Amino acid sequence: MKFELYDQDNAPEASQPLLANSQKGFGMIPNLHAVMADSAPLLEAYQTLHTLFQQTSFNVEELTVVWQTINVEHNCHYCIPAHTGIAHMMKVDNAIIESLRNGTKLATEKLQTLHLTTLALVRNRGQLSQGEASAFFEAGYEQRNLLEIVLGISQKVMSNYVNHLAQTPVDQAFEKFV
């Protein structure tokens, strides 16, 4: 199966303004978006979820924990290096970035709890044990944060699954993080 990498010139008409948004927001059209452009509704949904997830109550470290926990669990060859680069651009501490990539314990208990909760939600299809929920709340998180993790999972399922299907090539900007 070979997926097309669309640009603004050859993309389906409905996807052209969406790719223009990608170009404006990222300074390039990420290959993930180039693949998704074959389905304008998918690309629009992904862009919308990405924007909405960044508007949650999570700070940049917490966003990174949720994104990379899911990417690593899904073994996404594209999103792990892409979100490594994004985390560096957001000035996330390198120790956090490397812990997430290497599966080592995070520096703070709060971030570690966020990681473990996200992992449990992914692995158990949205179900948490009472102990997992209690640990999450004891770490200082609230119910809305659980809902925000679900939003992050929704975004990452879209990208991770598309990248698995399309074998999306890693963008040159992120190749050094492979």
8-61 residue pLDDT tens: 999 999 999 999 999 999 999 999 999 999 999 999 999 999 999 999 999 999
pLDDT at 90 over 90: yes
pLDDT at 109 over 90: yes
Q: Using an 8 Å Cβ cutoff, are 89 and 27 in contact?
A: no
Contacts for 97 with CB less than 8 Å, ≥ 6 apart: 64, 68, 84, 87, 88
CA distance 151 to 27: 25
Mean pLDDT of the chain: 97
**Cα torsion through 61, 86, 162, 10, rounded to 10:** 150
pLDDT at 170 over 90: yes
CA distance 14 to 70: 29
Provide φ and ψ at 5, rounded to 5°: -100, 100
Residue 153: predicted pLDDT? 98
Share of the chain above pLDDT 90, in %: 99
Alpha helices, DSSP H only, in 105-168?
109-123, 130-138, 143-166
Contacts for 70 with CB less than 8 Å, ≥ 6 apart: 118, 122, 152, 153, 156, 157, 160
pLDDT at 5 over 90: yes
| Domains in the chain with CATH codes | 58-177 (1.20.1290.10)
**Tokens encoding 91:** 């000035």
pLDDT at 74 over 90: yes
Residue 1: predicted pLDDT? 84
pLDDT at 86 over 90: yes
pLDDT at 131 over 90: yes
